[in-house]
Structure 1
Amino acid sequence: MDRLNRRRVLQASLAAGGLLAAPARAQPKPEKLVYIGENQGGWKRVLMEEVAPAFERETGIRVEFTMLPVDAWRARLKAELGAGSSGIDIAQWSVGMAGWMAPHLVDHEEVVAKIAQRDPAFAWDDFLAGSKRAATYDGKLIGIPYRVTTGILHYQKALLAQAGFAHAPATFAEFERAALAVNTPPDRYAVGIMGKQGSGTYTSLASWLYSAGGRLVDFKTGEVFINEPKAVEALQFYADLVVKHKVTPPEVTTWEYDEIIAGGQRDRYVMTQTFAPYGTLINDPANSRTAGRWAWDTVPGHTAKEQSRTWIDGHFMAVPRYARNADWSIEFIRMACSRQWQLRSMERGNAPPRGTVLRDTDMVAKLGWPPVAAAAIETGFPTPAHPAWDTLEVALRSGVSETLLGQKTAKQALDAVAADWQRGLRRAGIRRG
């Protein structure tokens, strides 16, 4: 309600000669806009190969993309924005960067209001609630969602049916029973996971954690919840799939992003909880021997399906406070995030944040997973965005890895993680005492 009232005030300022009084294209036309982003994955192809040329044809303004590896991308944004540089017109960021990006970005409620003035059909209400939560930091909208990823359950429907399961597992207990029933080593195992100690660790655990009612940390108070009983139960269940039940391929402790896709394509597993858009690649007839076999559902809840919760991450477009061409930056963002171009981007690998795009009849028929992703995004939890999370996540990776390798119980591992987090939060000035 506060946000709605705020938007009304912003729109009312038009008549009073306020912020939005200037038309969207009031600024002088620059020769180019500078876009700084990250180069991993092919989901940006439509943005670079189709939207940018269309924007140039319409406006005469070229978009210069500088797409960098993750570390270089973050370093470039930190350096230039930290110095107040006006050399970036559009900054692409992901959820985990929001904490340190927020001070350098304009209030995007104002951006939304400007876009609505220019294009009432933009339909901000079409963007899923979870995508807006992920684009918000400390109560401030700091970007417009372009790609929103989430974790869902991918499964080979016929194999579950042959084992007596008419639908996807709805609870942890059903998942365990199904896994034991469909596990046929050494050729095919029941479950694929990203078990490598790395950046995929959090997303592989998070759905189990949140569906069990587990929590991470309160960055305002410094309270640590990662070793509470619900979190411990979630990690132990997850680790037991590997250590106790042995329903995962033995090589999963080396698996991350590429490997979870390849494992599905090579029929190494029957079920996995992983990135929703990976369903397109795992089910791709040109590259997968399991093409046509896959179905999708939201992740299992702990003891009831209604408890199903997952993680949300993604990429957002934002206008820096120091940008000289803000009006034109907003115009490019308006075009790139429009329903027309979001629908097109989905055909080429993007995971759009718009409900009507994810539920589009043709896309559902072609890809299968999009409406499941839409449902998951609505109730999911964004990746922590506080600047201290990067440090905390490293300790979590270690604890999860020790449990998957059978070196520690979940309780032992998470007690150690909690102690490490408490020290880290004190060093960051967050935890008192």
Structure 2
Amino acid sequence: MKKMSKWMLALFLVVFAFITGCSKDSSGDDDGKIVLSFMGHGNPDEKKIFESVIKSFEETYDNVKVNYTSVPPGEYAQRLSTLIASGKHPDVYYAAGPEFARFVAADQLLNLQPYLDSTDIFDPDNVWEQALNRYRFNGNTVGEGDLYGLPKDVGPWALAYNKNLFDEADVDYPPADLTNWTWNELIETAKKLTKDTNGDGRTDQYGIAGFPLENAVWANGADYVDYETGEIKIDSPEFIEAMQFVVDLNHKHGVSPSQEAEQAQNSYTRFVSGGVAMFPMGPWDQPAFWELPFEWDLATWPASPNTGNTATWLGSMGFVVSKKTKHPDEAFALASYLSLDENGQRQFMELGQQVPNLKDLTENEFLKMDKSPENRQEFIDIIQDYGHPNLGWRSPDTKWLDTFNEEASKVWNGEVTVKDWVKEMKPKLEELYKKGNLD
């Protein structure tokens, strides 16, 4: 099939609009432009960034106007479900993980593969495979087959640290590799950075906060579930040991905030205000972190002392196109511009939104940026080497995972031991998983 460049596609769309007389319908405005609805979510920084990139898209495709709606992340799922239930699908919208699995299985998404096959915008060898595979579907399984979505981003969940707090305590910075850096060294380092700074008898500076349970589980050679069989695997010795490590950060070692302390002030706020030495971050946090009053950088996540391996989750959000859109060509043009266009990706990169989806842009420009973090390579190492798809990405029904997280508060609060809790929860979670995903 003949390849069509983005500029030829733009010209085609302009000519098409002219030939059709710029006919006005429910999806056209007074200027006769095709109007696309695009819905996403994010913080105010992300909204401003997307408004800027969308403006560039509209300048390139000047017969298209984009009505962009950004809602708070906590409201997005409900708002989107309401629109879909009422038959008012956005033309382009965010979907990832369980949402993508539900929508594609329900035949609500446009198959983008034919469009990708007919344009030179897409070079699969230049896009992170770890991101693309999240949006493949073969009719039965997510992760294989045609692309029904394009990556908004690939989100490595990295370990940031406050260099000023390390300097004040005369503690070596955490390493950028796994040389002598395990959970044990993390604990010893965190102890030196956990303090009562005002002398009131209560800890107000913590060594670490927000250590993800998934990181410890995967690093220790364990997992939560077998997606194919529905077997819940949380009762393995490796899982129990990993969960106990995370529990002990607070209950045994006191280097991480308790659940009560977290409710009083969340750990993100503690970190940005200088009250936590080490804390997770994603690339999308860069704009806010660039404004911090202290120096910061990235370290590798510590390894399990049992396996010598480390792990973290590698998130991704996707752009999908509604199968009911009246303008599939233009909707694809928007999704592909936001995901694959070099100029669009450069803007997202420079504004601090993400690691580029394009490998060559990452290697030639992202790694050479003169803004924090200095150790930008850590983001890439997570993408290429030790990042895992975020939990539940192949599970359309996540009631099992929601129940896990809700009930795990009993462990974090010290109400029940890890061993007793996993023994109780395994059959319950297995029943929920199989009922929602395999039956």
1:388 positional shift: 4.8
Residues 318-329 of structure 1: matches in 2 within 5 Å?
318-329=320-331
Structure 2 counterpart of 1:139: 144
Residue 54 of structure 2 is aligned with which of 51, 55, 63? Answer: 51
2:283 is equivalent to residue 272 of structure 1:
no
Structure 1 counterpart of 2:209: 192
From the superposition, tell whether residues 39 and 392 of structure 1 become closer, same or farther in structure 2 (CA, over 3 Å): same
2:192 is equivalent to residue 181 of structure 1:
yes
Greater displacement, 373-382 / 385-394 = 385-394
Structure-1 separation of matches of 2:37 and 2:174: 52
From the superposition, tell whether residues 388 and 166 of structure 1 become closer, same or farther in structure 2 (CA, over 3 Å): closer
Helix, strand or coil for the counterpart of 2:414? Answer: coil
Residue 267 of structure 2 is aligned with which of 247, 256, 260? Answer: 260
Deviations 1:288-334 (A, max 9, x none): 33x22x12023122138962221122321122222221111122223
The letter of the residue matching 1:377 is: I
Structure-1 separation of matches of 2:253 and 2:231: 34
The answer (yes or no) to whether the contact 2:35–2:66 under 8 Å persists in 1 is yes
Structure-1 separation of matches of 2:125 and 2:236: 37
Structure 1 counterpart of 2:400: 392
Structure 1 counterpart of 2:288: 281
Residues 208-219 of structure 1: matches in 2 within 5 Å?
208-219=216-227
2:138 is equivalent to residue 127 of structure 1:
no
Structure-1 separation of matches of 2:401 and 2:325: 32
From the superposition, tell whether residues 317 and 259 of structure 1 become closer, same or farther in structure 2 (CA, over 3 Å): same
Residue 151 of structure 1 is aligned with which of 149, 154, 157? Answer: 157
Structure 2, unpaired ranges of 5+: 18-32, 137-141, 197-202
Residues 403-414 of structure 1: matches in 2 within 5 Å?
403-414=411-422
2:370 is equivalent to residue 365 of structure 1:
yes
The answer (yes or no) to whether the contact 2:395–2:437 under 8 Å persists in 1 is no
Structure-1 separation of matches of 2:420 and 2:272: 35
Greater displacement, 180-189 / 230-239 = 180-189
Determine which structure has greater relative contact order: mean sequence separation of CA pairs < 8 Å that are 6+ residues apart, divided by chain length: 1
Structure-2 separation of matches of 1:345 and 1:252: 37
Helix, strand or coil for the counterpart of 1:42? Answer: helix
1:129 positional shift: 2.5
Residues 72-83 of structure 1: matches in 2 within 5 Å?
73-78=76-81, 81=84
From the superposition, tell whether residues 265 and 88 of structure 1 become closer, same or farther in structure 2 (CA, over 3 Å): closer
The answer (yes or no) to whether the contact 1:261–1:281 under 8 Å persists in 2 is no
Structure 1 counterpart of 2:215: 207
Structure-1 separation of matches of 2:260 and 2:117: 47
Residue 95 of structure 1 is aligned with which of 81, 94, 97? Answer: 97
Structure 1 counterpart of 2:116: 112
Structure 2 counterpart of 1:243: 251
1:403 positional shift: 1.9
Helix, strand or coil for the counterpart of 1:110? Answer: helix
Helix, strand or coil for the counterpart of 2:244? Answer: helix
Deviations 1:15-58 (A, max 9, x none): 9xxx99xx746674452112122244532423223433542464
Helix, strand or coil for the counterpart of 1:407? Answer: coil
Structure-2 separation of matches of 1:124 and 1:138: 15
Count of residues in correspondence between the two structures: 394
CA RMSD of aligned residues (A): 3.2
Structure 2 counterpart of 1:347: 350
2:181 is equivalent to residue 170 of structure 1:
yes
Helix, strand or coil for the counterpart of 1:428? Answer: helix
Structure-2 separation of matches of 1:72 and 1:259: 20
TM-score by length of 1: 0.79
The letter of the residue matching 1:382 is: P
Structure-1 separation of matches of 2:402 and 2:125: 36
Query: Which structure's residues are more often helix, by fraction?
Result: 1
Deviations 1:351-380 (A, max 9, x none): 233334444257642131543122212232
The letter of the residue matching 2:372 is: L
Structure 2 counterpart of 1:3: none
From the superposition, tell whether residues 54 and 274 of structure 1 become closer, same or farther in structure 2 (CA, over 3 Å): closer
Structure 1, unpaired ranges of 5+: 1-12, 195-203
From the superposition, tell whether residues 427 and 24 of structure 1 become closer, same or farther in structure 2 (CA, over 3 Å): same
The answer (yes or no) to whether the contact 2:36–2:331 under 8 Å persists in 1 is yes
1:97 positional shift: 1.0
The answer (yes or no) to whether the contact 1:142–1:318 under 8 Å persists in 2 is yes
2:231 is equivalent to residue 223 of structure 1:
yes
Helix, strand or coil for the counterpart of 2:336? Answer: helix
The letter of the residue matching 2:48 is: R
Structure-2 separation of matches of 1:124 and 1:158: 41
Helix, strand or coil for the counterpart of 2:181? Answer: coil
From the superposition, tell whether residues 418 and 385 of structure 1 become closer, same or farther in structure 2 (CA, over 3 Å): same
TM-score by length of 2: 0.78
Structure-2 separation of matches of 1:40 and 1:281: 10
Structure-1 separation of matches of 2:268 and 2:302: 21
Helix, strand or coil for the counterpart of 1:214? Answer: coil
Helix, strand or coil for the counterpart of 2:152? Answer: strand
Structure-2 separation of matches of 1:188 and 1:375: 29
